[in-house]
Chains A and B, each alone.
Chain A
Amino acid sequence: MQRSFILKIFLVLCWLCGTIVQSSSLEASDNLAADVEAMKVQMENVQREHNEMIRKMQERIEILEKQKETRISEIENKEEFKREIIRDKRAESAVGTRSDLFSKQVGFGTVRLMDISFDSLFTAGGSTANDSGIDLLQAGAHDPKKRGFTVQNLEFSMQGAIDPYINGEAHIIYQIDKDGESSLEVEEVFLTTQTLPFDLQVKAGTYFTEFGRLNTQHPHSWDFVDQPIVNSRMFGGDGLRGPGARLSWLAPLPWYSEVFGGVQNANGETAFSFLYVAGEDFAGNTLIARDVQSTKDLLYSTRWLNSVDLSEELTLNLGASSLWGPNSSATETQTRIYGTDIYLKWKPVVNENGSHFVSWQTELIKRDYEAGEDKIKLKDSGIYTQMLWGFKQNWVAGLRYDLADGNGEATDYLRDRRDRVSSNLTWYPTEFSKIRLQYSYDRAEHINEDRDGDEHSLWLQYGFNMNLY
C-alpha cells in the first residue's frame, strides 16, 4: 500500500517532470520559431534595403549614362560648331579679340571695372531777345545763353562697383560759359550701398537732391533744350546739389514704393533757395554770411516715389517731395519747398525698336521763403507740364508749357509772373547722338516792355554721347 503510494507519487512526479520538460522543450521550440521568424524578417529587410540600394545605384547609373550621352552629343555639337565657326571666320575674316578697353574677357569671366562715358551738348540759335535778355529768359546754367553758339555741357561720367558692398559714380563737368570762361566742376561724386538688409540703401557723397523728377537729371538726358522755369527759380541754374547722405527704403508693398530721407549741406552756390552765396541778391535782399550753428542749419529732404503698371503698356509714376533748411536772407530765416510730380507713359508692347510711345510729365513746386529780419513771407510757385510723342523710329516730338509766379508785387525776374510754350522735334540718328530743334514763345513782361514781353527763340541743339554700350 505504501509502495504503491510511493509509486504513485513517483509517477506523479515523473509526469510532472515530463510535463515540465515537455513544456520547457516546447518553450524552447517556441523561442526558436520566434528567432527564425525574426531572422527571416531581418533577412527580408536586408534584402529590401539591398534591392533598394541596387535600384538606386541602377537609377544613378542610368542618369549618369544619360548625362554622358548628352555630354557626348554636346561635345559633338560643339565640334560641329567649331568647324562652322572656323568656316565663318574664314568667310568673314573677322577673328574676334573679345576685348575692349575697359572690359576684358578673362577665361570665362569678364573684368569690368568701370563704365566710362562722355556726353556733350551744344546749341546754336537765336532769340528776339538780345543777349542780356536771353540771360534773363534762360536762367539755367546749362541753357542756351546767347545768340550764336553755346557750349551747354561737357560731362565725363564714371561708374562701377567698388567692392561687393558699394557702387561708385562720378560726374565731372567742363563748362565754357557765355563769356568764354572755362571751368571744371565736380557735379556729382557719390557711393550707393548694395547689400543693406530690409531693402535699405544709403547714398553718400555730393549729389543732386532727389526732389521731383528733373532735379536729378543731367542735361544730356533732358527732353528739351533748356530746363523748366520753375527749376531755375527754386534750385538755381545748376540744380540743387551738395554734400550729404540719404537713406532710401523700398517699401514691401505690391507696387513700387520708395521712400527717401536725406540731409545735405545747405550752403554754397548750388543751394540757391538756402544758404546761397553771401553778397548775392535774392528778391531785393542782400544775402548775409550765415554760419552753420547746429543741425538745424542743414538741408533736410524727403521724397516718396510710387510706380504702378496700370497695364502692360501704361505706367504711372507719382511722387511727392519736400525740403526744409535755413536761408541766408537773415540769421534766423528758413525756407521750405514742396513738390508733387506725375509721369505717365504709354508704350505699346507690339512696337518696332521700342520707338513708339507717348509720355506726359508734370511737376508742381511751391516755396515759402522767409526774407530779412522781419521774416517776410515770399511765396513762389511754378509748374511745368510736358508731353512727348515718339511717332517714328528715332523721332520724338515734344510740347511743354511753363508757368511761374511769386506773391506780392514781384518784379524780380526770378519771381514775377512768367509763362512759356516750347515745342521741339528731336532726331536720334542712333541712341548715342541727337539733333533737336526747339522753338520757344516767352511772355516775360519785365524783360521787354515795348513788346509786352513777347519773345521768340529758336534753338538747334546737337549732342553726342560716347560710352561702352
Chain B
Amino acid sequence: MRKLLFMVIIFMASLFIIQNAAAAFEKKVEIVTTTSDIKSIAEMIGGNKVEVLSLTVGTQNPHFIDPKPSYMLKARKADLFISNGLELEVSWESSIIEGSRNSKIKVGAPGYLDASRGIQPLEIPQMVDRSSGDIHVFGNPHYILDPINAKIVARNIAEALSALLPQQYEYFQQNLFEFNKKVDQKMSVWRGKLMPYDGERIITYHKTWSYFAARFGLKIVSQLETKPGIPPSANHLREIIELIKNNKIKVILQENLYSDDAAKFVAKRADVHIVKAPTSVGAIREAGDYFTLIDIIVDRVVGGFSHD
C-alpha cells in the first residue's frame, strides 16, 4: 500500500516537472488562416513566435470550399483565426468557427481577425440583387493583390499578435517594419516594370484583378465571365471580341484557377495575347510567398505586353 502511494507521488511529481519543463519552452501562437496569401503574410509578421496553417491551398477557388470536419479540428486548437474578409469565405467560414467549439476564435473575440479591416474596398455595389450574379455586398474581396493592402493586412496581424503576446510587441513591430520596408522596395521595382504600360486596357476572366490593376495603372475593360460567378456565354464572348478589336486590347489576364477555354476562344478570333497568372500563394509551385507571387504576376503581365 505504501509502495503504491510512493509510486503515485513519484508519478505526480514527475508529471509536474514535465509539465513545467514543457511550459518553459515558449508556446507558439497557433494561427489558422483561410487563405494561403494571409498565411504567407502572417508567417512574415509572426516569425518564430507563431505556427501558421492555412485551411485552403492556393490552387483552390476560395469562393467554393467545402467546410470539411477536419477544418474544424484544425480551428479547434487555434489561438488566432484570420479570415480574408469582405465575404470571400462567407459560405463556409462560420460553420468552421462554430464547429470548432473554440471560443477563443469566435467573431468579436481577440482571437478572430478580419484581415480586411481598414481596407478601402473597390466595386461596392449600390444595390444588391442576385440578378447581377455572385455579388459581394461589401465590395470586391480580392484586395490582397494590391501590395499596399498587404501592408494593412500585415499591420492588422501585428496588432492582433501583440494583443495575444504583449511581451513580444517589439518583435512583431520589428517584423512589420521589415515587411513594410520590403513592400516599399519591391513596389518601386514593380512600378518600374509596369510603368511603360500605364493606362493599358485589359480583359480579365473574373474580377480578381481589380485591386492589382488599380494599383499599377492598368484599366480593366470587361470580364470574360458573363457576370461574377456565371460562366462565359457565347454571346458575351462575341461582344468581348468586338470590344478587343475596337479598343485594340492586347492582353487577356487569365487567373490560372479558371479554365482558359473562353480566353482561347476569344484569342482565336481577335489579336490578343493570353496571360495566365496565379492569384494566390501556392497556386503555382514557384509562387512560394507573397512577394514571389506579385513578382510572378508582374513579370507575366510585362511578358504579355512585350510579346509582340
Contact = CB atoms under 8 A, between A and B. Distances in A.
A48 to B, nearest CB: 21
A222 interface: no
A352 B184 contact: no
Interface of B: 57, 59-61, 63-66, 68-70, 72-73, 76, 87, 90-91, 98, 101, 103, 106, 117, 120-128, 130, 133-134, 137-139, 148, 151-152, 155, 170, 173-174, 176-177, 180, 184, 214, 229-231, 257-259
B101 A351 contact: no
A307 B68 contact: yes
Interface stretch (A70-78, A237-245, A367-375): A70-78
Given A194-B103, A256-B70, A351 B61 contact: yes
A355 B57 contact: no
A321 to B, nearest CB: 16
A56 to B, nearest CB: 10
Contact of A353 (B61, B87, B90, B184): B61
A430 B98 CA distance: 26
B214 A255 contact: no
Interface string A70-103: 1001100110111011001000101111101001
7 contacts: A63-B177, A67-B177, A70-B155, A77-B148, A97-B124, A258-B69, A345-B66
A88 B76 contact: no
Contact of B126 (A96, A255, A305): A96
Contacts of A347: 66
Interface residues of A, number: 63
A201 B101 contact: yes
Contacts of B73: 255-256
B84 to A, nearest CB: 14
Given A256-B70, A430-B130, A96 B139 contact: yes
A429 B176 CA distance: 44
A352 B130 contact: no
Contact of A307 (B69, B128, B138, B155): B69
Contacts of A196: 101
B98 A355 contact: no
Contacts of B229: 353, 430-431
B173 A63 contact: yes
A73 B148 CA distance: 10
Contact of B103 (A63, A195, A305): A195
A469 B124 CA distance: 15
A393 interface: yes
Contact of A100 (B137, B151, B257): B137
Contact of A98 (B124, B180, B257): B124
A351 B76 CA distance: 27
Contacts of B177: 63, 66-67, 70
Given A88-B123, A307-B68, A354-B65, 9 more contacts: A73-B184, A88-B214, A97-B127, A194-B103, A258-B69, A315-B66, A347-B66, A349-B57, A354-B60
